[in-house]
Amino acid sequence: MEDQEIIELYLQRSEKAIEASQCKYGAFCLHIAKNILTVPEDAEECVNDTWHTAWNRIPPVIPNSLKAFLGKLIRDISLSRYRENHAKKRYSGMEVMLDELGDCIPSEFDVEQELERQHTSDMINEWLSGLSQESRILFVKRYYYGDAVKTLAKEFGFTENQMAQKMMRLRNNLKSFLVKKGVAI
Amino acid sequence: MKKEDLYHGISGISEKYLNEADNYRPQRKRHWKRWVSIAACLCLVVAAAVITPTLLGKHTGSPFVLTAYALGNEDSIITNEMIENKSIPVSLFETPSGIKGFVFSYDKITGDEAATVTIVSGNKALSENPGLDEILLLSEMESGKHYFYYIPDSADTTPYQISFFISDPAAGMVYRYDITIDETAGGHIATLSKTISDKLRSEEEYSFDVFAEFEITEGEDGNKEAELESLIGFPDQE
């Protein structure tokens, strides 16, 4: 099913929207969540949360790219789950309490924060456009999808050490780019 | 900027780059037969390198010396040996059908062996270009040398970062030459940033940007002919 048709299902409030999203982007979202969380059960829960969040957000949001939109959601949700898990382990009471209080805050978009994030994304996309294809794919696989260095080394035919060095060069390159753009790091 | 800001910024990576990464398939592996055929001549390379210590030490750990090619006045060709961290001029050599690439070589020691060429490019569509074999007839490709012809992808921007691999199966080693090609007002310059040696792994552990390997021989009419030895990464054309 085309993305536009799936978005249309969300707009019509048809539950088939979730089914279609799961069918087309389930593996994509699960791949990201598993890499971030490593616990399959947590990852699956995050994927389910992603469909519900998408259901709540569309409308009023109408994504230009459903894949990028869902990718963003699963990364946000997985990060929150990661934080939650770590807070429970490390700080017991306080972080959990603060997280719970966070539920009381209306989930409206923080416009300013959203604009800042968009600006950062624009800079990263500009930086990516200037990379060689291999470097770009490596960066996206490592830092968007969360693929392990070991996995990438095997996939691209390098040793783990070589791959780690490649990643370090990429990070340094991005850092220089962001500094040139006036980002305080 | 905090780490999490960057994380969220990365969450906004454009769909076209996500798809590019999704659709990436590792290049097919170099053919074992090819490794074995190279092994024979490289044994000699190693032997010669041991006997002739001057060959050693030009690049840390590697017995091979890369030569870069540039166009001089009146179409003359200038060759320069590459030494780490020294920038030397290089030129784009263009075929009649408009393919442009940088040329490098190293000596295979056995002087009478036919020249071989590895074409390095990230642009897979090139394999369908009927003019590809013109690359091999571009200049005076000498016997006993292995050439690298690096074709930058049109989407790439300078400085180009490339790596050439030279294997030495007899010693169980592979050498990676990391080269940066930058554009200056007067043309292009290439710098060998480093040479890294590594244990030669099994064929399965390797993948290369390389997609075509040719052997050049002299035909009955005296003209050079390019024979395609192997295509890597294109199963339907093999």
Weakly modelled stretches of chain A, pLDDT under 50: none
Helix axes of B3-11 and A111-129: crossing angle, nearest 10 degrees: 70
pLDDT in the model for residue B3? 80
Q: In this complex, which of A68, A135, A185 lies closest to B18 when CB atoms are compared?
A: A68
Q: Is A4's Cβ below 8 Å from some Cβ in B?
A: no
Facing residues of B188 across strands? Answer: B90, B183
pLDDT in the model for residue B237? 28
Facing residues of B101 across strands? Answer: B93
Higher pLDDT, B46 or B96: B96
pLDDT in the model for residue A116? 85
Q: Do A116 and B5 touch (CB under 8 A)?
A: yes
Q: Is A145's Cβ below 8 Å from some Cβ in B?
A: yes
Q: Which residues of B50-70 are buried (b: 16+ CB within 10 A; e: fewer)?
A: eeeeebeebbeebbbbbbbbb
Q: Which residues of B134-150 are buried (b: 16+ CB within 10 A; e: fewer)?
A: bbbebeebeebbbbbbb
Query: Taking CA atoms, what residue in B is nearest to A174?
Result: B6
Name the pairing type of β-strands B87-90 and B92-94: unpaired
pLDDT in the model for residue B101? 85
- Is residue B29 scored above 60 in pLDDT? no
- Report the run of H or E that residue B35 belongs to, with start and end: helix B32-51
Q: In the predicted model, what is the mean pLDDT of residues B45-73?
A: 61
Q: In this complex, which of B24, B27, B207 lies closest to A137 when CB atoms are compared?
A: B24
How far is it, in rounded angstroms, from Cα B129 to Cα B202?
31
pLDDT in the model for residue B57? 38
Q: Is A75's Cβ below 8 Å from some Cβ in B?
A: yes
How far is it, in rounded angstroms, from Cα A24 to Cα B217?
52
Name the pairing type of β-strands B173-184 and B77-81: unpaired
pLDDT in the model for residue B136? 56
Give the pLDDT band (50/70/90) at residue B75.
low
- Residue A163 corresponds to which tokens in the numbers above? 């791959």
Number of CB pairs < 8 Å for A and B?
Answer: 110
CB B166 within 8 A of CB B177: yes
Lowest mean pLDDT among A138-152, B53-67, B145-159, B222-236: B222-236
Start-to-end CA distance of chain B, whole Å, equals: 50
Contacts of B1 in chain A (CB under 8 A): 120, 178, 183-185
Contacts of A166 in chain B (CB under 8 A): none
Q: In the predicted model, what is the mean pLDDT of residues B163-171?
A: 75
Peptide bond preceding B159: is omega within 30 degrees of 0, i.e. cis? Answer: yes
Q: Is A154's Cβ below 8 Å from some Cβ in B?
A: yes
Higher pLDDT, B152 or B25: B152
Q: Do A144 and B18 touch (CB under 8 A)?
A: yes
pLDDT in the model for residue A185? 63
A41, burial (CB in 10 Å: exposed 0-12, middle 13-18, buried 19+): exposed
pLDDT in the model for residue A141? 94
How far is it, in rounded angstroms, from Cα B2 to Cα A175?
12
Chain B stretch 95-114, residues whose beta carbon is closer than 8 A to a beta carbon of chain A? none
How far is it, in rounded angstroms, from Cα A146 to Cα A124?
16
Residue B26 DSSP symbol: P
pLDDT in the model for residue B99? 77
pLDDT mean across residues, chain B: 69
Contacts of B161 in chain A (CB under 8 A): 132, 135
Kindly compute the dihedral angle of the four CA atoms of residues B119, B97, B99, B17, in this order, to the nearest 10 degrees.
-100
Angle in degrees, CA A85, A72, A164, rounded to 5: 75
In 3D space, the residue among A39, A42, A44 whose CA is nearest the CA of residue A26 turns out to be A44
Residue B31's SS3 state is coil
- For chain A, what percentages of helix, strand and coil (3-state, to nearest 5) are there? 80, 0, 20
